[in-house]
Chain A
Amino acid sequence: MLELKSLDAGYGSFQALFGVDLDVKAGEAVGVIGPNGAGKTTLMRVISGLIRPTRGTIGMEGVDVVATPAHLIVGLGIAHVPENRRLFPRLTVEDNLKMGAYMPKARAKYAERLEFVFDLFPRMKERRNQMAGTLSGGEQQMCAIGRALMSDPKLLLLDEPSAGLAPVVVQQVFELVRRIRSGGLTVLIVEQNVQQVLKVVDRAYLLEAGTIRASGSAAEMLESDTVKQAYLGV
């Protein structure tokens, strides 16, 4: 479904990604793990068009993502839940969700999508008229994921969904990821919480200093010495 080939990207003269190859097949959940500053967020931003690669290709179901204007990439079925959630704090929960359905294709299905999101997160229905900035951290993450789901995506990009949340809430978020993917949605998830993320994904890549150091099934990664030593503290 999503295919990245020898991708370079960065900010100005600073290069963050070096020749990254990565693919995600339909229906899969794929994780990208790695330390702070490895380029994980950059990777997500390149896929959703917030920054452009300096080299390499990105294909989404055969469409050239690099050649697609940034605001039309969500129309290809890629929805990005950005790092730190990035909700519109002074818009209500419902207006935040409405923004997720801004694409003409999504507007037509607004009522249906809203019901879907409210089914998934009944809490959001209760808080629909509340300013998003007043939600708790966990609720904000639900709202951010809900906003992304409003566009009826095929591929969901999750950037550090557990960051800044209390341990109990982290559990809930991963439970949520499991539920979302059981609904058939393809998920690419970036996480520092390696132990947790390897429980919900099928495969994972290890990204270090902007390059892919290792990849394999979740079970293989859990057993891999590199991962064990560096991230699982074993």
Chain B
Amino acid sequence: MQSFLEAFDIFLLEAVLNGILLGGLLALLALGLNLIFGVIDVTWICYAELVMIGMYGMYFLVQYYGLSYWVAAPAAIVLVALLGALLHWLVIEPLLSAAPINQLLATGGVLFVLQSFATVAFGIDFRNLGIRLPVLSFADMHLSYSRLLAFAAALVGMIVVYLFMTRTYTGTAIRAIAQDRQIMALMGVDTKRIYLVTSALGGALAGLAACLLVLQYDVHPFVGLSFGPITFLICVLGGLGNFVGGFVAAFLFAEIISLGGLFSDLEWGYVLAFAFFIVMMFVRPAGLLARRS
């Protein structure tokens, strides 16, 4: 009996730790989507597909061109950042004054374009970097280095974004524009430029997520489906555009998935998480940390 309890506690602790590690990655994904929504007031439904393109970028840079992971990663981040800026310039900017549903449909269209493009260009094979990071074992717990690395990098990425948003003029303008875009010209701010910078930043975060996810998952044209919906739900749960809410919701979701998976199959963790989301939509429809007006 005693030994059973000890083993149980270790598993529980391991699941909690894995939940935290997953939470970091989900928080990073949610931050990018929230940034775009909070500032430009547009939801990039195709956000996870940008991540997918980034993962393919990593795959080709590492496997095909033989670059080291550490050289390929910044290149992939820049690639997806450019893609984000391009998405804004080509699709979002012409639709800025359009009805929200049209913007949603347009980015939904981009989702299918990117998926189909990847299918045609890269085929439907599952590909990976061929890098296997060791597993850290201590006190009977097993934590993969790829998850630890992803968590640490996601944390660093979020801190860098936080410093950028609070310390620089451009970052302050990004926060200001979300609160009152009409008077930005009075401050001397070129709104179009800020939107482009924000889109590139959102893209860069998708690129960083891609570099981290590609260590844990195979890439294929539909890989976006495995974390796109959950990222979107996290943002909604936290309150779309609310950075802190998204951060909290990401860890909450990750723990539900991880702990739910402990008592049964991992899939049950997802079922519980989505059920939790639906209940929360009744209880707090505007998000966990919604401002009370």
Binding site for B on A (CB under 8 A): 48-50, 69-75, 79-80, 82, 86, 88-91, 95, 98-100, 102-103, 106-107, 147, 151
Contacts and interface: CB of A to CB of B under 8 A. Distances in A.
Contacts of A89: 179
Chain B interface: which size bin? 10 to 19
A87 B164 CA distance: 21
B139 interface: no
A181 to B, nearest CB: 20
Contact of B184 (A69, A71, A90, A91): A71
A48 B186 CA distance: 7
Given A71-B191, A95-B172, A88 B180 contact: yes
Contacts of A147: 187
Given A50-B185, A70-B185, A99 B190 contact: no
A74 B188 contact: yes
B152 to A, nearest CB: 29
A75 B186 CA distance: 10
A151 B183 CA distance: 15
B182 interface: yes
Contact of B182 (A50, A74, A75, A79): A50
Nearest to B179: A88
A99 B185 contact: no
A135 to B, nearest CB: 15
B179 A82 contact: no
A97 B234 CA distance: 34
B182 A99 contact: no
Nearest to B184: A71
B117 interface: no
A20 B173 CA distance: 34
Contacts of A102: 169, 173, 187-189
Contact of B186 (A50, A90, A91, A106): A50
A107 B169 contact: yes
Interface-centre pick from A71, A90, A103 (highest chain B CB count, 10 A)? A71
Contacts of A98: 169, 172
Contacts of B179: 88-91
Given A90-B179, A91-B179, A82 B186 contact: yes
B81 to A, nearest CB: 23
Closest 6 CB pairs of A and B: A70-B185, A103-B188, A74-B188, A71-B185, A88-B179, A71-B190
Contacts of B189: 71, 99, 102
Contacts of B169: 98, 102, 107
Contact of B176 (A48, A69, A79, A88): A88
B127 interface: no
A49 B186 CA distance: 8
B173 A99 contact: yes
A95 B247 CA distance: 23
B56 to A, nearest CB: 38
26 contacts: A48-B185, A48-B186, A49-B185, A50-B183, A69-B190, A70-B185, A71-B188, A74-B185, A74-B186, A74-B188, A80-B186, A88-B176, A88-B180, A90-B179, A91-B175, A95-B172, A95-B175, A98-B169, A99-B172, A99-B173, A99-B176, A99-B187, A102-B169, A102-B188, A102-B189, A107-B169
Nearest to B166: A95
B96 to A, nearest CB: 16
